[in-house]
Amino acid sequence: MSRPAAEMHPNQAAFVEGVDHVLSAWTALELAVEHEWGGHDTHEKRDTLVDEIVDYFDTLVRKRQVPEPSDLEELLLDILDEDFSIALEDGSEKEVARVLCRMFGECKTGNFATVDKMAEEREKRSRGSAAQQSQTVARQGADESSDDGSDSDVSMEE
């Protein structure tokens, strides 16, 4: 997301934020990023995807065209295949495209309800993920402290 927010209209800034939230909720994309299926620059490719989606909508506005989810689906499928080596078979691109088109229409009129909802959901996922990590660390600490010191449980990492 290389666009400085200070140069954007508030509606566009909200849309850019919303696109980022939608993509963060897309399981296929997040798995690709987490496991670097797009190579060592996978995180940058994900940020570029946000820009590409925003550019897609900007182009439609300039041409005075209405966004069609089916067109956006094709763009998403192409980018995921080329940049992240993902061949989707779950149809999730349809839902992502539908949400993005709806959110674009809302942001255009100054309605940020979907963006706000997506931000809240992302925050909940983030808190849940942090809590899970804390529990995992606590369990690992408990497991280590209960270890009797024997070497019978040799790990693969040694």
Q: What is the pLDDT of residues 25-62, one digit of tens each?
A: 999 999 999 999 999 999 999 999 999 999 999 999 99
Give yes or no for a contact between 30 and 24, defined as CB atoms under 8 angstroms apart: yes
Give the alpha-carbon dihedral of 103, 105, 107, 113, to 10 degrees: -50
Is it the case that residue 102 has pLDDT exceeding 90? yes
* Rounded mean pLDDT, 108-131: 89
Helix (H) or strand (E) holding 21: helix 10-24
| pLDDT value for 27 | 95
pTM here is 0.77
What's the chain's Rg over C-alpha atoms? 20
Q: Where are the alpha helices (DSSP H) in 63-145?
A: 69-84, 92-108, 113-145
| pLDDT value for 43 | 94
| pLDDT value for 134 | 55
CA distances from 128 to 4, 10, 24, 47, 137 (A): 30, 30, 14, 23, 14
What's the pLDDT band for 101 if we cut at 50, 70, 90? very high
Tokens 């709806």 correspond to what residue? 102
Can you read off the two tokens belonging to residue 87?
């061949």
CA distances from 135 to 76, 110, 132, 141 (A): 36, 41, 5, 10
Can you read off the two tokens belonging to residue 144?
């280590």
Is it the case that residue 143 has pLDDT exceeding 90? no
Is it the case that residue 154 has pLDDT exceeding 80? no
